[in-house]
Structure 1
Amino acid sequence: MELVRDFLNTLDVEAETDELNSPAELALWLHERGLAEEGARAGEDDLVTALALREGLRSALRRGGPAVLPVLPMTLRIDGKPRWEPVEGGVRGALARIAAQAARPGWERLKVCAEEGCQWAFIDASRNRSRSWCSMRLCGNRTKTRAYRARKAGSRPPLGSNTDTV
């Protein structure tokens, strides 16, 4: 699941940065992870497919339901443990390998941070799979502080009320 997590995190929602801004960046990212050969070329259509795959996987994790994913040709191999494998090579095959990871054990532990401004993908290693944030220290604290302040603001008497006077 680390591969899927890393793929999702190519978009940093909070910092507003994207590692996949061009077909060349996509090809390089795939090569650096051993998914594409050195010098592999990605086209604009490959980039569109990659971005749709990333958003579809992120959407499935956020909502916990079905997502719209791009069509990537795969075949089911059954020789011991069943697994999905790409039919094509190159960039589309590499994207299919990423998509196939979602069907493997561990998908249920992959989550997207509940902090609305973050959406960082992380692997929930907690015993009962109850982790909500990528980092309790950062995102968890932000969320809890915001909720606390909202509760405190809601408990104050409205401005102009004379609840302080007798």
Structure 2
Amino acid sequence: MNDKALAPGGLALVEALVNTLDVETGADTLDTADGRAAFGLAEPDVPAARELREALRAACLAHAGHRAPGSSPAALDRLLADAPLLVTVADDGTAALRPAAPDRLVSRIAEALAAAAASGTWARLKACEAEDCRWAYYDRSPGGRRRWCSMSVCGARAKMRTYRARGRGAAPSEPGLRPEPRASNAGEA
């Protein structure tokens, strides 16, 4: 659902992996040969890739201040422990982290996360607040406080639910959505 440009650098790989599952429809591109080929996966690699994807989604949700039931960003820590990185030094003396096993998806993800953490961009990769979406997006807003992948779709739906709940006098149904306080006029008696 993300209507913005892809995340910068290696985070585009992370974003693409998280977005292989359309939560709303249940469609998973890792079920297709083309979808697996995009990540250099064979069919037996898919369960591990799915586990990695959901751990990344949990971390992206945490970046946005949310937590999905039954998921924890700590799972990503466990998965990345199996992806050692090496420090390499170029001819000009610059150092970089490179995956020890570049043919493995988890190693490429670890390299991308290390570079993103160093550049300060990792925390801007988030997952949509909408429970029926959870699409990964890169938050390019100045304050880094975006909540939805698309204001025109997920944001509009959430705001409409809040508006309707307010009209019924009920509390908003989605966590994090609170009616705005009414403005008071100081001059009124």
Alignment check: 8 A CA contact 2:148 2:154 kept: yes
Cα displacement string for residues 43-95 of structure 1 (whole angstroms, at most 9, x for unaligned residues): 52x21211111000101111347420324332231532442x222243xx233
Tell me which amino acid in the other structure corresponds to 1:55.
E
- Candidates 103, 111, 130, aligned match of 1:100: 111
Superposition RMSD in Å: 2.2
2:63 matches 1:54: no
Cα displacement string for residues 98-143 of structure 1 (whole angstroms, at most 9, x for unaligned residues): 2331222311111101112111111111111011111111111100
* Aligned length, in residue pairs: 141
Q: Hey, which bits of structure 1, 4+ residues long, moved more than 4 A?
A: none
TM-score, length-scaled by structure 1: 0.74
Matched residue, 1:3: 13
Matched residue, 1:67: 74
In structure 2, the CA distance between the partners of 1:118 and 1:66, relative to structure 1 (3 Å rule), is closer
Q: Which has the higher contact order (CA 8 A, sep 6+)?
A: 2
**Aligned counterparts of 2:74 and 2:34: Cα–Cα separation in 1:** 25
Alignment check: 8 A CA contact 1:112 1:122 kept: yes
Structure number with higher strand proportion = 1
Tell me which amino acid in the other structure corresponds to 1:129.
G
Task: Give the greater-gyration-radius structure (CA).
Answer: 1
* Structure 2, unaligned runs of 5 or more: 1-10, 64-71, 171-189
